[in-house]
Structure 1
Amino acid sequence: MAHIEDRWFAPKLDQEGRPVLNGRGKPLLARSPRHGTGLRYRVRYIGPDGRERSKSFPDREKRAADAFLATVEADKYRGTFIDPTAGQVPFSEFAETWLRSRTYDKSTMESLELRVRKHILPFFGARPLSSIKPSAVAEWDAELSSVLAQDTRSVAFAYLRMIFSAAVDDERIAKNPCSAKSVKQPRPAQRQVIPWTYDEVSAIRAGLLPRYRPLVDLGAGCGLRQGEIFGLSPDDFDLDGGWLYVRRQVKRVYSRLVFGLPKNDKERRVPLPASIGAVIRAYPVAPIPVSLPWEDPDSEDLVTVRLMFTTPRRNAINRSDFNSKSWHKALESVGIPRTRATGMHALRHFYASTLLDAGENIRALAAYLGHADPGFTLRVYTHLMKASEARTRSAIDALFSTPLVVAG
């Protein structure tokens, strides 16, 4: 049975070892050998797994011991009991275990490990899981706000929430401190996309080496991501049917290049305009067979693909080298500042704005861009959609062009 043990006093025993009772039939107490030292009250109880557990309280904390025992028994009855010792594991130890259990692709794991080890572990590392309260999470985020951009803070907070959610699922802590009302989760900065003009896209294209100019055509004319363009093979083009099949990308994982599926791990088919098809037909550089690991940079099993676009040294294009040596110089040549918003991804914004201006629907645009959720596409590009007031008036006027017949 669960009970509270007073370790400073013990029943007084007679010469035969039996408890000595007072006039009301209760045992008389005498000071124990440990009287006045250590914690006085020890709550002893049986956990749901049948193991005996205990927690000690100091002198004059009998009410706290009673409250703890009552809470334990109530939690056991409701099925919400959390072993107080389970949360004593250091945050860093649990976080490393959590990282090892993730099954993301290697490139996602690289980003995840970097943010957890650089932005989360230094603050929470040695603290026991159960000791981390919402106030500590708020303090951590406040410190990050002075050194990190809001988007990076938002991602780091999301990872921290995931770690604590796993601790709740493992019954190491009862609540996720990131979910408290007193904690305000940083939100990604809402930036309105301002697409480039056709003249700006053309000028950037002219600033690149001839072998790289079709990259602009495929980004601005087909909406492909940078890595997807680098991973294209001549076999991915259906020039007669007018389709481009996006089957892979070239990406960097732990400083090594690998092939991998497009983002969201889903291949897709994109309309290939005749003008872009003509550029591909006229491309003078022969495709080069390139062998790289698939997803895992440590894998010895290589996949060979005839790449449409390669470096002059016949290698797959590394985005870091291309950006620094080619793309940034092209931007500078036309006076466009080098920012996060002016990378090759801006060509996808140009593509999206062109299609929306032509009246294409969001669901089709999301499919062409490779977005998993059309709602995301709508949130990013809704401000580029044509104002509908005139179309609304025209539609209703056309419907009501014939006067309604009113029954007599």
Structure 2
Amino acid sequence: MATIKKEDCSCPRRKKPSCAHKPYRVSYREPGGRAGKQPQVSFKKLEDAEAFAIKVERDKDLGTYINPKAGQRTFAVVWREWVNAGVLEESSKRNYQSVYDNHYGPFFGTKPIASITPTTIIEWEADQRSRGYKQTGIDGRKNVLSSVFNYAVSAEIIGRNPCKKANPRRRSGQSLTPVTDEDIPTMEEVLGIIAEAPKLIRAGFWSMAGCGTRPGEALALSDESMNWEQGILSVDHQVSAYGCQEISGYRRGVKRGTKHRSFEQARKTPVPQDIVEIFNDHIDAFGSWGERGWFFESPRLNERHPSYDWYLDQFKAAAKAAGTPHYTPKSFRHFFISEAIHENIPLFEIAAWVGHRGTRTTEQVYGHLVRRAMERGARTMNNRLGLRLAPFKGLILPPQVVPVDDHEDAWDDVA
């Protein structure tokens, strides 16, 4: 059991509020029986010491005890632990660091992680809005923030995730930011961006809009990954900013496997006939290189892939020149998936084509499009069935039944 002991100090102000000493010391044993450590925590007020003693014993009984010193680690320290605990690509770590520097570090970095409360999270959201960020972006960053706190809970650094209390109406388990209509370019806008792209990589832009590839996957198109007769693309390589020594021999270049999938789990996606012709025209104009017949080559270095960052910069410049600077390469994937949903293609097919982990991801991100597809499907079937069932109206209504007094026939159907 936790015990409280008062220790008098020799401070001349010991009986005044200005005394800095904490005379009430709580001693207790951590879980583990006699092997458990025996920490001591000091308090200035008796009521605070009593409250802590009751809480620590209750947490031990419930199996939710957390060492108070663990929560004194700063958010910055726990963030680094979280980033390094997972199996992340170097490029992903770099992106996370950029997000941390811009959105988390200035607000949370020096705070002890146990001191971050739901109120702190709400204040951070308000700060994000005051800086002009859209709510969808804030929600996405909050999902990442929640993952960090979930890690801290599982690592027994803190007891609860403050993000969950900060937004109780949010569905549990939702960790993806839904796409809105403003995030999806029209066909005219897609064509406008592609028209402004350098001809050397224009076919890569077409593969993102017409095949749903990611930027790194588009840069890794090759003759060997194409089934020209059937119009099927095997997405099994990607160009990345880091970790590519295996094939290219350089830190930056191409590597086997894609996001969420190893090389052996390559996904396949259909290639429209028009884009097959675009790929052929690209090879006729620029040729291919390497053993796999890579489509794209660096404009500066022979037999090297274009830089991933250079590719993104070219898209940004093309989007700006087309008058749609708010679109990113991911917008082309949004276009591909939205067009597939509009055509009522089954979600499990779409998820497999674009490399989602499952249909749940597609439903969460493109939920409003899925609902519209359902409505269109219902209207379509209503129109079809309405025409065919017209002659049968009045004949398929359920009969009305009323009780009668005849014991032999307890119920009588009334037409």
TM-score under structure 2 normalisation? Answer: 0.73
Distance of 1:104 and 1:187 partners within structure 2: 18
| Match in the other structure for 1:15 | none
Corresponding residue of 2:402: none
Deviation of 1:318 (Å) = 2.7
Q: Deviations over 1:201-237 (max 9, x none)?
A: 5565555554444334433433333322210110011
SS at match of 2:234: strand
**Alignment partner of 2:61: what SS?**
helix
1:251–1:260: 8 Å Cα contact kept in structure 2? no
Give the superposition deviation at 1:258. Answer: 4.3
Query: For 1:61-210, what aligned pairs fall within 5 Å after superposition?
Result: 61-147=45-131, 149-150=133-134, 151-181=136-166, 188=177, 191-192=180-181, 194-197=184-187, 201=190, 205-210=194-199
1:286 is matched with: 287
1:312 and 1:320 map into 2 onto residues whose CA distance is 13
AA in 1 matched with 2:113 = L
Q: Tell me, in whole angstroms, the C-alpha distance in 1 between the residues paired with 2:91 and 2:212.
A: 22
Counterpart of 2:86, as a letter, is R
- Per-residue deviation, residues 217-263 of structure 1 (Å, max 9, x unmatched): 43343333332221011001111233221111213349944435333
C-alpha contact (below 8 Å) 2:121/2:166 kept by paired residues: no
- Equivalent pair of 1:134/1:180 in contact (CA under 8 Å): yes
Residue 267 (structure 1) aligned with residue 266 (structure 2): yes
Q: Which has the larger displacement, 230-239 or 358-367?
A: 358-367
Contact 2:176/2:361 (<8 A) preserved: no
Alignment-derived partner of residue 46 in structure 1: 29
Q: Report the CA distance between 1:384 and its aligned residue.
A: 6.4
Contact 1:2 1:44 in 2 (8 A): yes
TM-score, normalised via structure 1 length: 0.74
Change beyond 3 A, Cα 1:369–1:64: closer
SS in 1 for 2:345: coil
Which residue in the other structure is 1:238 paired with? 227
CA RMSD of aligned residues (A): 3.7
Q: Which has the higher helix share?
A: 2
Larger Rg: 1
Residue from 319, 328, 352 that aligns with 1:367: 352
Measure, in 2, the Cα distance between the counterparts of 1:182 and 1:222.
37
Deviations 1:302-335 (A, max 9, x none): xx75311224443312344345457734873xxx
| Structure 2 residue matching 1:233: 3-state secondary structure | coil
The C-alpha deviation readout for 1:73-93, integer Å capped at 9, x for no partner, is 333233222233332233333
Q: SS state of the match for residue 100, structure 1? A: helix
Percent identity between the two aligned chains:
26
- 1:288 alignment partner AA: W
Any gaps of 5 or more consecutive residues in structure 1? 9-31, 290-303
Contact 2:237-2:254 within 8 A present in 1 as well: no
> 1:34-58 CA distances to partner (integer Å, 9 max, x unpaired)?
7974333222222224322222233
Per the TM alignment, residue 267 of structure 1 is displaced from its structure 2 partner at its CA by 2.1
Q: Which has the higher strand share?
A: 1
**Residues 108-130 of structure 1, C-alpha deviations (whole Å, 9 max, x = no match):** 22222222344223323333233
